[in-house]
Structure 1
Amino acid sequence: MSTTVKNSLVNLVTWVMVLAFFFPVFWMVLNGFKPESVASSIDPVLFFTPTTEGYELAMDRGMMDYLRNSFIAATVATVICVVLAIPAAYALSLRKVKAVESALSFFISTRFMPVAAVVLPIYMILKNLGGLDNIWVLAIIYASINLPITVWMMRSFLLEVPFEIVEAARVDGAGLFREIVRVVLPIVIPGVAAAALICFIFSWNEYFLATLLTSSEARTTPPFLGSFVDGRGQFLAVLSAAATLAVLPVVAAGWIAQKQLVRGLSMGAVK
């Protein structure tokens, strides 16, 4: 088989996989513009009269408040993770730290336990401290959950920094803060963007804790989307419209940071 034929087959398989993964998203967006009777029909309908009724119903139910809560929680969690992960990863990569493997194992071991196993103690602690239904508390919990992964990713990026550059900065008299901010960070900015985006997505999509630890004031978008499925049935058109609105911020963030994201992932975070 010639190289041209192999490349053509690879391209064909790639496009088939892309279309297979993209089709559910396309169908969700399409259903968002259908009347409820058409969207809930057993037979798929491609040609219909578009309507914004689903989006209007989602907004009437206060979706902007849930989107705002999700944005606050995800943004605050991402900022906390990045600010704490950079010095931690720096110490575990470019500094001589004893038992690095043990420290890394401890970090990642915190993700081994299912969230369901710790949600009751967290709930009781927050109940006694008056921290239930608080968006800032939820953001801190998200940050603590995503911090180990962020540290692992940032360490992988920092290992790509030539140590000679760090040594030259030290010879020139750079202190620890200047060494990190002025020398190391400009090199790994794409990695920081990649880690921040992944942390943001994980926080934005979290459902379990947002459902159990919030009720009204701090409820985020994922539990809100689940409210469209109840004992009366599944309201597919308005659910699709709300889901489309929910994914737009993540898609926009990925689109804005796509160049940095591609460069960051190629630095060694995903191997």
Structure 2
Amino acid sequence: MSTLSVPQTAAATRPRVDKYAPAARRARRRSAGLGLLAWIVGIVFCLPALWMLLTSFHSEPDAATNPPSLTAPLTLDSYRVFFGEGGGASPWPPLINSLMASLFSTLFVLVLALPAAYALSIKRVEKWTDVMFFFLSTKMLPVVAGLLPVYLFAKNAGMLDNIWLLVILYTSMNLPIAVWMMQSFLADVPVSIIEAAQVDGARLPTVLLRVVAPVAAPGIAATSLICFIFSWNELLFARVLTGVTAQTAPVFLTSFVTSQGLFLAQLCAASVVVSLPVLAAGFAAQDKLVQGLSLGAVK
């Protein structure tokens, strides 16, 4: 039995050309170019921190050379001096003071900001926009403008060189920012689950802790981290209102700038150690931070 062969046309034998291939190649090249640009920008931004880290392992003469030497021998002498070897001041009291002030102020900010944000986003009070503007207006006053009244109050109240004064100040300074951030986060919480909890007899504390807080956990984590960083890095009030007992880590860093000169290697080593708690907190909460800062960005 013979089989009939169907003649193939020219269109059927011609290789198929994907008309979208050039656009896809251009998109891939554009994506690769943007990725390379992002890496370059990231490296440029990280260079000062990397240079600080490298300088912290140099001796003082090598750190003071101009131009700086990349091949200088590495040493841990600056870290030994920072941690008090050789009769220097111990860094542990300032570090503990900074940790106490940052943790307690962040905790108080969350306790106060969560109900406030709930009232401004879910169970909105009357003229809630005016309330939000009031919170924002408190950040318009320069910090240095309130330094003298705060100092006179602390002096008359006998609270100079007191870590709890810093806790109160950091709480009041970070509270407006926390309310603003958490108001936008809590606005995306579904009202239906809150109403369901209220139907089941849940009171306001239960609703906040067991319903609202788990849903808005990324936003709360982002707010906590930002408040912690702001408290940890604050220098002006801590420099003026503290002495020896309540001295914080940023104030301790200024002790490396003396009338004898700038001890650059020791200052870099101290800066690296002081930056570690913030970096550790950022790495530990980076997933929550990204979720929280992007919460509500896509509707």
Q: TM-score, normalised by structure 1?
A: 0.96
Does the alignment pair 1:176 with 2:204? yes
1:115 and 1:43 mapped to 2: Cα distance? 37
Structure 1 contact 156–269 (Cα < 8 Å) conserved: no
2:234 corresponds to which letter in structure 1?
E
Per the TM alignment, residue 96 of structure 1 is displaced from its structure 2 partner at its CA by 3.0
Alignment of 1:224-235 (within 5 A): 224-235=252-263
**Pairing partner for 1:241 from 252, 269, 279:** 269
Find the counterpart in structure 2 of residue 55 from structure 1.
79
1:59 corresponds to which letter in structure 2?
F
Find the counterpart in structure 2 of residue 30 from structure 1.
54
Q: TM-score, normalised by structure 2?
A: 0.88
1:21 corresponds to which letter in structure 2?
F
Per the TM alignment, residue 115 of structure 1 is displaced from its structure 2 partner at its CA by 1.0
Does the alignment pair 1:112 with 2:136? no
Alignment of 1:200-239 (within 5 A): 200-239=228-267
Aligned-residue RMSD, C-alpha = 1.4
1:201 and 1:121 mapped to 2: Cα distance? 25
Q: After the TM superposition, which of the residue ranges 62-71 and 192-201 deviates more from structure 2?
A: 62-71
Over alpha carbons, which structure has the higher Rg? 2
SS at match of 1:136: helix
Per the TM alignment, residue 266 of structure 1 is displaced from its structure 2 partner at its CA by 1.5
Find the counterpart in structure 2 of residue 260 from structure 1.
288
Find the counterpart in structure 2 of residue 44 from structure 1.
68
Per the TM alignment, residue 163 of structure 1 is displaced from its structure 2 partner at its CA by 1.1
Per the TM alignment, residue 46 of structure 1 is displaced from its structure 2 partner at its CA by 1.5
**Pairing partner for 2:150 from 122, 126, 136:** 122
Cα 1:100–1:117 shift into 2, 3 Å: same
Alignment of 1:128-167 (within 5 A): 128-167=156-195
Number of corresponding residues = 270
Q: 1:61-83 CA deviation, whole Å, 9 max, x = no partner?
A: 22121111111111111001011
Structure 1 contact 170–179 (Cα < 8 Å) conserved: yes
Alignment of 1:24-103 (within 5 A): 24-60=48-84, 61-103=89-131
Deviation >2 Å, runs of 4+: none
2:60 corresponds to which letter in structure 1?
E
2:71 and 2:223 mapped to 1: Cα distance? 41
Find the counterpart in structure 1 of residue 9 from structure 2.
none
Structure 1 contact 157–269 (Cα < 8 Å) conserved: no
Does the alignment pair 1:16 with 2:33? no
Which blocks of at least 5 consecutive residues in structure 1 are unaligned? none
Q: Which has the higher contact order (CA 8 A, sep 6+)?
A: 1
Q: Percent identity?
A: 47
SS at match of 1:267: coil
Q: 1:133-176 CA deviation, whole Å, 9 max, x = no partner?
A: 00111111111000000011111110010111112222222211
Per the TM alignment, residue 49 of structure 1 is displaced from its structure 2 partner at its CA by 2.1
Q: 1:100-127 CA deviation, whole Å, 9 max, x = no partner?
A: 0000111111111011111101100110
1:269 and 1:82 mapped to 2: Cα distance? 22
2:61 and 2:280 mapped to 1: Cα distance? 31
Per the TM alignment, residue 260 of structure 1 is displaced from its structure 2 partner at its CA by 1.3
Q: 1:159-198 CA deviation, whole Å, 9 max, x = no partner?
A: 0101111122222222111111111111011111110000
SS at match of 1:117: helix
Per the TM alignment, residue 269 of structure 1 is displaced from its structure 2 partner at its CA by 8.2
2:297 and 2:236 mapped to 1: Cα distance? 27
Find the counterpart in structure 1 of residue 226 from structure 2.
198
SS at match of 1:173: coil
2:232 corresponds to which letter in structure 1?
W
1:194 corresponds to which letter in structure 2?
A
2:92 and 2:153 mapped to 1: Cα distance? 29
2:219 corresponds to which letter in structure 1?
G
Find the counterpart in structure 1 of residue 15 from structure 2.
none
Which blocks of at least 5 consecutive residues in structure 2 are unaligned? 1-22
Does the alignment pair 1:251 with 2:275? no
